[in-house]
Amino acid sequence: MDYFSLFPLVCALITSLIAYQYWRSLQFVHFMPGLRPLLSPLSPFGMLLPNHSLLNPGSTWHWSARNSSAYLNKTHDIISIVPLMGSVSYYTCSFDVMKQILSADIRLHTEKPYDMTLERLFGPSLASVNGESWRRHRRVVQPAFSNKLYESIGNEVANIYQSMMESKDWRDCKQIEFLESHDFMLKFTLCIISKCGFGIDASWNAISSSEKPETHLNHVEAQHYRQNGFTLPEALRIVSQTLIPRIILPNWVYAVPIERLQRMGESWNDLSSYIGTAINDKDLVNYVSKDGDTQDPRECNKDNLLTRLVTSWTLSKSEKHSLSENEVIGNMYTLMFAGHETTASALVSVFALLAIHQDIQEKAFNEITVIQAAQSSESKNIDVNKMTFTKFCLWEALRLYPSANFLPRELTQDMAVDVQMPDAQKVILQKGSWIMFDLISIFRNPHTFPQPNDFEPERWNGIAEHEVGMFGVGPRACIGRKFAQVEALHILSTILTSWKIDILTRPNENREMYKERVLNDAGQVGTAFGLRSVPLRLIRRF
């Protein structure tokens, strides 16, 4: 038999099967208009391979198309994405659609898709689990986000700022230049989450050191890490940049004598060592009794995230609502990343926008000055609850550059939602499909936000906080929302009190050219979305 003569037949059969399956996928979404690429934009290969408008739009296609073709020029509230290779999904640019579904998250039994979480890398966490598991994780983590925690943020911001000024010898500087402001802001926010969230002493000196920093838990002697590896911020940076390769590549690859692969493997191992040492600290575990009360004579802070997680783990055999060691590790990873990268990205965005819009910056500075002048001499920290306009600046920066650029959900049942575009009607979303709440397109939708590309903090005046959806809405909105907001406002007040933020231009570049270059260059920066490169200059006010 001439097998080569069968080759055209086999090819025709495979092509027919692919065409039939693709036709079924189009039927599944009732031929809803949208993108028809070769690769799913959220598949690992779709994220790794070069972007192409037709073949592989990429995970941030909605940013690239924000001013042009996205959502058929903003004429549809929901579109479908039906790739030739990959899963079918819906995307929405409607804030109303997002509220309809996420506000009823629990009742509708929507789930976070496993493939869109970091559970396979880090383990189960509050950010990845669903149903009763989510409720159990929340019962453990939620009480740690207390007023005591929020009150500690102001003190730590002041301490870290002073440490930074001294270690960098900036006290007498008239101006400071940052060719890349991300590194500065990532260190600052890492120091805050490390100290306030996990009791790890991450002073500016320690976090900037080329050696492993010591971990000072609230109530135990410091433990030393080996000194021939990555510092905590270095390990976090590399890990956040290599999430997709880590999912795709097998473990044996990291033993191949290629420096980049070996550095990747070492950074993951070192970060695991940091997390493991923190939660397995024998003194910490020994100070937690079976009834959940700490036995440390120096009164270990029970509101500390690390203490609550470890307490829950030690109770795992006797308590219903406890976490396993694997779940404690998963939450440590998640809270560490979410607690510093997303806030750092938001702060870089608001600093850039304030540097460009000097009039708005001066209004924020004046607000801070008035609040500080009205406070009693006994008040060490500014009352961030009174920083109304500065908070609007933060919200507006997050609207333009949301740190989480989309929120995914998997539908466990058919769902009817009301849409307004292209016509007012009910649309049935199919069980088993994913819907992506596209925060970039939702918060730049001209039907909801007039002049959507303009930085206008006053647009939030009179808007209730639960209507500010950049942290999500409904019962599964970001648990660290208030922590991030309080932290960002303290950092803004600390910097703006002493420094004027200004742009740092290239040779022969004017302000308009800087604005065009910086504000249009956004994408994934580690695990967060934001401006990629923001050179800034700080000029001392007094």
DSSP character for 40? -
Helix axes 232-241, 325-356, angle to 10 degrees: 90
Residue 318's pLDDT band (cuts 50, 70, 90): low
Residue 324's pLDDT band (cuts 50, 70, 90): confident
Residue 184 lies in a domain: yes
What is the arithmetic mean of pLDDT over 233-248? Answer: 80
Residue 215's pLDDT band (cuts 50, 70, 90): very low
Look-up of token digits 């306009």: 389
- The average confidence (pLDDT) of the chain is 85
Model confidence at 286: pLDDT above 70: no
Residue 33 lies in a domain: no
pLDDT for the residue numbered 320: 67
Model confidence at 35: pLDDT above 80: yes
* Between residues 215 and 1, the one the model is more confident about: 1
pLDDT for the residue numbered 510: 95
- The per-residue DSSP string of 199-258 comes to -----HHHHH-SSPPPB--TTS--BPPPSSS--HHHHHHHHHHTHHHHHHS-GGGGGSS-
Model confidence at 2: pLDDT above 70: no
What is the arithmetic mean of pLDDT over 139-166? Answer: 89
Q: How far apart are CA 497 and CA 193, in angstroms?
A: 23
Q: How far apart are CA 463 and CA 68, in angstroms?
A: 28
pLDDT for the residue numbered 285: 52
| pLDDT tens per residue across span 102-122 | 999 888 899 999 988 888 888
| pLDDT tens per residue across span 456-496 | 999 999 998 888 999 999 999 999 999 999 999 999 999 99
What is the arithmetic mean of pLDDT over 494-506? Answer: 96
Residue 384 lies in a domain: yes
* Between residues 315 and 479, the one the model is more confident about: 479
pLDDT for the residue numbered 189: 92
What is the arithmetic mean of pLDDT over 403-426? Answer: 94
**What is the reported pTM?**
0.88
pLDDT for the residue numbered 219: 33
| Residue pair 107/64 in contact by the 8 Å Cβ criterion | no
Model confidence at 216: pLDDT above 70: no
Residue 64 lies in a domain: no
Distances (CA, A) of 483 to 103, 193, 200, 373, 476: 21, 9, 17, 25, 16
pLDDT for the residue numbered 319: 61
* Between residues 209 and 457, the one the model is more confident about: 457
- The per-residue DSSP string of 361-422 comes to HHHHHHHHHHHHHHS-TT--S--GGG-HHHHHHHHHHHHHS-SS-EEEEE-SS-EEEEE-SS
* Between residues 360 and 116, the one the model is more confident about: 360
Residue 168: strand, helix, or coil: coil
Residue 62 lies in a domain: no
Residue 505's pLDDT band (cuts 50, 70, 90): very high
Looking at the chain, the whole-number percentage of residues with pLDDT higher than 70 is 88
| pLDDT tens per residue across span 527-536 | 899 999 999 9
What is the arithmetic mean of pLDDT over 316-325? Answer: 69
Q: How many domains does the chain have?
A: 1
> 326 lies in which domain range?
138-406+483-540
pLDDT for the residue numbered 94: 96
pLDDT for the residue numbered 281: 65
Residue 21 lies in a domain: no
Residue 89 lies in a domain: no
Model confidence at 454: pLDDT above 90: yes
Model confidence at 227: pLDDT above 90: no
Residue 301's pLDDT band (cuts 50, 70, 90): very low
pLDDT for the residue numbered 196: 85
| pLDDT tens per residue across span 332-354 | 888 887 778 899 999 999 999 99
- Which two three-digit tokens encode residue 507? 């040779």
CATH of the domain at 169: 1.10.630.10
Model confidence at 185: pLDDT above 80: yes
Residue 30's pLDDT band (cuts 50, 70, 90): very high
pLDDT for the residue numbered 140: 86
pLDDT for the residue numbered 223: 35
| Residue pair 513/481 in contact by the 8 Å Cβ criterion | no
| pLDDT tens per residue across span 189-203 | 988 988 888 777 766
| Residue pair 325/285 in contact by the 8 Å Cβ criterion | no
Residue 477 lies in a domain: no
pLDDT for the residue numbered 316: 53
